[in-house]
Structure 1
Amino acid sequence: MNAHRGYHEPRATRGLSDRVFFDPSRRRKARVIFSAGTLISGVIAWLLFFAITVGLDGGLEAALPEPISTLKGHTASVRNSLLVEGEHGSDMPAIDLYAQQELQKYQCLNRTGQGAAPSQTLKVYAVVSAELPWATHSFSESCNTIHVAMPTWFHFTELDGDVQVGEVSLETRQPLFKQRTEVGTFDIMPILQWDTAALGPLRTPTGPAKVSAALSDFLDQPSQTANVKGYCIDASSLALIEGQTFSILSRRLTSQFKSRGLETCVRLPSSAAASLLVIANRFFDTVVIKGYQEHWIGSAPQPLADKRWFNERIKAFQEHVAPSKLVVELGTHSLDWVSGSPRPEVLPFAKAMTALAQHDAFATLAPGSGNTRASYLDARGLQHQLWLLDAMTAQNQILTLKRYGIQALSLSGLGYEDPGIWAVLDQTTRGMTLPSAALESVLLSNYVALTGRGPFVAPRSMPQVGKRTIKISPETGEVTSAVYDEMPQAAAGKLYGEGEPNKVVLTFDDGPHPQHTPAALDILRQTQTPASFFVLGSNALASPDLIRRILAEGHELGSHTYSHPNMAEISASRAKVEANSTQLLINGITGKNMRLYREPYMRSGGPITSKEVASLLPLEEAGYVIAGMNIVPQD
């Protein structure tokens, strides 16, 4: 009978308790509790070890080979830490130092929590140079004082005897549209400049007609009239053409614009003849005239907009241009006359200040001219003599414009300016009294002093905040004295690793992807093409086999952080976890450490703001090789 019994029979008929988990001795319970406790303790210990390791300063160490160290310009070993030194010698993460420095900036009236700022009494235009990639960053500091942006996106050029309109890339234009969305509403009136080659056809009898035809073809493209209020013709290089030619040209061009509902503008040099001012006033809606001198080959070092000269030019402009049309352009740049060079170099304020600070030189406001001057001797023994148009000059010039009843002003170039100019515009164009404290701190956060060439980036240092003592007349509001106590310096970095001609390096970001990465690897294997893969830790965790395959097939691996955040927008602790967790994960999968790093949302050409430098510095100090790129795909 027992031979035919099986486990399908009830437990009770087999002499067992009908309670499946009956444990009268409680030994089974003790074993289960012990096993579960051991497992949980092991998991907690592993998590604790991982968390501690991720947060350790030494978790990012990556020894540099001598060639890379030489290219970077290191003279000492890389510091084994994720911290950078603060301004007062105490260790402080670079991103925290950035936040601390930002607090020293001027606080706009509309951000102080004291209600809406008064309306501006002057309309403000601003030239946005396409040559300066950091120019549009000025909008974030402008206190919403700019009404019209004039980007230098287009130019007349000549090809096979015909006039055409050339343009910058859509990628170059996009940051301005982004700023208009993020910072506030302002109108856009692109500037049309002239190539030297285009001036030849213009001097022929049919020249104005050719230019008009080229403009018509250009404006017939819907994309060229969308999102713009109008266009501004830069006639700075046309000052020497005959008045009749300028008149015919102005009539034809303004007709093209107005037939499409676009406003018209012309930009003229301060030296423009009275006859050209009269013609400009007749045909154009807005006439922008430069309120500074442009010094060319052979000119001696001198003020760019001497106080007395400036007053005389304002009166001359008013004689020929209607008040509702006249816009006086204030210079925002600096000029550097170098001994042995026939022509002075145009410099942004940040570059001029950094050069002076590096040579232990100081700038001072020259009371007679109302412009700032400085000089220094460089390492080659060459004498530099600089004249600057800064915030102090702008304050005094705006007060002059108001006395003469001028209704609008323009800034000669964003990205060139003394950042203190935004305090001047925010206060003085709103009828407020400018406090001297608003100009005392000088932080150059939207410029990075880069040396070298190549797609690899070695960030060097954060900015140094400058201090100046400002005296303002209580009666007139004019700046009477400006003395620099500490010279400001911009953040610094080095570009290196420029490749050989006709050679490229293929890189892939954001993987590994379960479908796309294997397909890419198959093609690379078939064509015997090496590549570099900058991987996300989160994707590597999901596809460890692809990580192993990338290495097995001879490609390079680099870190692209764990979850693809904007590293400049997160805390120092989070940034440390992003980098370290990816490094430890790849090490666990492959047994190797990654030396290459590419930051998410990185731009070509290197960092252009101190915020970008702050996010890269910890990786550089840990020993990573930071890879940028020459070509950024619009994905």
Structure 2
Amino acid sequence: LHAADLLVTQNVIADDEQYHVEQLQQYNDYLFLMAIDQHNQSSNEGDISHQDWVEVILDNICTRVPSEKVILVVAGGGFDWPKNNVGVPVSYQQAISVAKEKKSKITFDPLSANLNYSYIGQDSLQHHVYFADAATNFNMMRMADDWGTAGVALWRLGFEDPRLWVFIHKNLTIDSLRKTGFDTGLMATVGLNDKIDYIGDGEVLDLITTPSPGEINVKLDTSDYTITSQQYKKLPTKYVIRRYGYAPKKLVLTFDDGPDPNYTPRILQILKEEKVPASFFVVGSMVEKNIPLLKRIYDEGYEIGNHTFFHPDISAISLKRVKLELNATRKLIEAITGRSTILFRAPFNADAEPQTTAEVIPVAESRKQNYINIGESIDPRDWDPGVTADSIYERTIRDRDKGSMILLHDAGGDSREATVQALPRIIRELKKRGYTFTTIADVLGKTKDELMPEVKDDANSGITGGLYDAVITGYFYGNWFLFYVFLSAIFLSIARIVLIGVLAVRQFFENKKTQATVDAAHLPHVSIIVPAYNEEVTAVKTIASLLKLR
């Protein structure tokens, strides 16, 4: 490997005597000392890397191996231990965001230089979180530099406190720091990265934090230049979305883009025959054309969610437009059913699980309006052009354990015939395999009334509310009235043209018969005037043509 300008390195697990470092250092250019996971996801809760523990390990290794061959690995992030359960790895960003959401106080332990806090989770269990941050890393690097190690490494990239990058390139030996000092102001503020983090399992999406810088008091002991105290005055946050609502062996049928007068009634009939519930995420522009159909969906007991008014890519439109899209559709639903809805699914799957800031901002706006964002994990792609019923069926069965929400469509595209044909087969096969079809309310542990509350606020009551409902209803039936008026006008126009044509033909034949019975002797004489001035050539031809007439 050296001949190819490559290095030979090996990870060495701390406190594991099976690693014979004296021998390993003979075959490796560097040994990466993994001074992390003192407590891990399989152990009991505790510090990720207590600084005294790291010091003992470093002393032990560096007395047996030349320190210039040792690279100290420092920890980023930590673990979240639910009570009596195994731990779950969390990044620094995730740990901070959960602490912010749960209003937990983060404690910096001056003995270990690790941090911890507790909270009650969605599972109603007590959780204990231990993690390392930049202060932890600073003290570990101080030890490594005093030992003259070859350097430090991070486990793992993306889990770290971003303040680490302020000093990772600096010489942190005691002699260097006594000459140059260290400005703790560099560690007094922290902002998290722009990456959107997800925590938890499920297809219900809750945006728990948005970007905001943090403020931290850091105290440095200038006798040995280690950080001895750290207080988070204001927690930094980033975009963090919590997933929840996963219910094993339970499935929810959801239909987007309707209602459609051709496909939605057939889907409703299938659901009735198979005795399964479903949820319909409706588009406002389709609703206003099919008001009785939305009323039928509600009357038959199905959940109704908001899918915007014109089905735009909400990551590409303004927030004002997002508000308009949501409010217009909600008002329609309220006027027709007397119920509102807090269920929302963004058009286009990219927005169901945002990956960019442009995609998450409209979702944040929907949360401000108290909507619950419903994603999906089982997408048989029934929206693909030319998709067959067999493909929809096979993809659904294949992905049945990916989540609880099945995404189908009852409108949009060229045709939803394949969806209608596949639906009974999907329901029967999944029932046979032991799955239960349920509602979003059941998955969330709520009631339908909580997801679709009765409209009682002042804006939708009294004269104003009644007038609005009348306008919506009048608009729908007015459209139908004008449609049939125009249809009648077109029919009458066509009938008039046909009648005129029939009468013209009849008149033609009658005239022909009349002409045939007239005696030529009784016809009157006529005079034909032919212009001749400067028309010598055409005049002759015209006269010759006239003489041929009989």
**Normalised TM-score (structure 2):** 0.47
Structure 1 or 2, whichever has the larger Rg, is 2
Bigger helix share: 2
Q: TM-score, structure 1 length as denominator?
A: 0.42
